[in-house]
Amino acid sequence: MTLNENSGGLISKERAIKLVSAFDKKFPGEIVSSFIGSSNVESLLQQENCIGLRVYNGYDVGEQKLSLVIVGVGIDGEDLLEAGLIYDELVKCPDYCPKSSLLK
């Protein structure tokens, strides 16, 4: 598999519900979702030669919760770390959850 602007695939709502539900059963009490604003996503994607984003699983020792780290990926498939645009500090659910979603 090669990395390019079209990497990734759509899934059905039913598949999404199964995946999120299975995660919740395996990791009860863990963060359900994380939100990043469109301006921050655009900043990552506007980096020179950026073809997409990579999301790393992290762990916040202080909060004792999973955490996501998001970086841009260049045309060579490598993380774009030199520009300093690395995001974490996402808005997490819980506490900021959608009022009605089949995924939570």
> What single-letter DSSP state applies at residue 32?
-
Q: What percent of the chain has pLDDT over 70?
A: 99
104 pLDDT more than 80: no
Determine the pLDDT at residue 46.
95
Instruction: Report residue 55's pLDDT band, with 50, 70 and 90 as the boundaries.
Output: very high
pLDDT given for residue 1 in this prediction? 67
- With a cut of 70, say whether residue 33 has pLDDT above it: yes
Beta-strand pair 50-60/65-74: antiparallel
pLDDT digits (tens, 9 = 90+) for 80-94: 998 779 999 899 888
Spatial distance between the Cα atoms of 75 and 52, rounded to a whole number of angstroms:
9
Q: What is the mean pLDDT of the chain?
A: 92
46-72 burial, b at 16+ Cβ within 10 Å, e below that, comes to ebeebbbbeeeeeeeeeeeeebbebbb
Given this model, what pLDDT does residue 63 score?
87
Residues 61-87 pLDDT 10s: 998 888 999 999 999 999 999 877 999
